[in-house]
Amino acid sequence: MPRYALRIEYDGGPFSGWQRQADHPSVQAAVETALAHLEPGPHTIAAAGRTDAGVHARGQVCHCDLTREWDPFRLSEALNYHLKPAPVAVVAAQRVGADWHARFSARERRYLYRILCRRAPVTMEAGLVWQVKYALDLDAMRAGAEQLVGLHDFTTFRSVTCQAKSPVKTLDALDIDRVDTDAGPEIQFRVRARSFLHNQVRSFVGTLERVGTGAWAPDRVGTVLRAQDRAACGPVAPPQGLALMSVGYPDDPFA
- Cβ-contact 140, 218 below 8 angstroms: yes
Strands 56-65 and 242-248: parallel
Q: What's the CA dihedral at 115, 117, 118, 119 to 10 degrees?
A: 90
Q: How many residues make up the chain in this entry?
A: 255
**Active-site residue, from 11, 52, 137, 182:** 52
H/E stretch holding 29: helix 27-38
**Residue 52 appears among annotated catalytic residues:** yes
Whole-angstrom distance, CA of residue 9 vs CA of residue 89: 5
Classified as helix, coil or strand, 86 is coil
Q: Which residues in the chain belong to E strands, given as ranges?
A: 3-10, 46-47, 56-65, 88-96, 108-117, 130-132, 150-153, 168-181, 184-193, 242-248
DSSP 197: -
Q: Which residues pair with 94 in a beta bridge?
A: 5
Q: What's the CA dihedral at 191, 192, 198, 203 to 10 degrees?
A: -20
- Cβ-contact 37, 94 below 8 angstroms: no
Write out the catalytic residue numbers.
Answer: 52
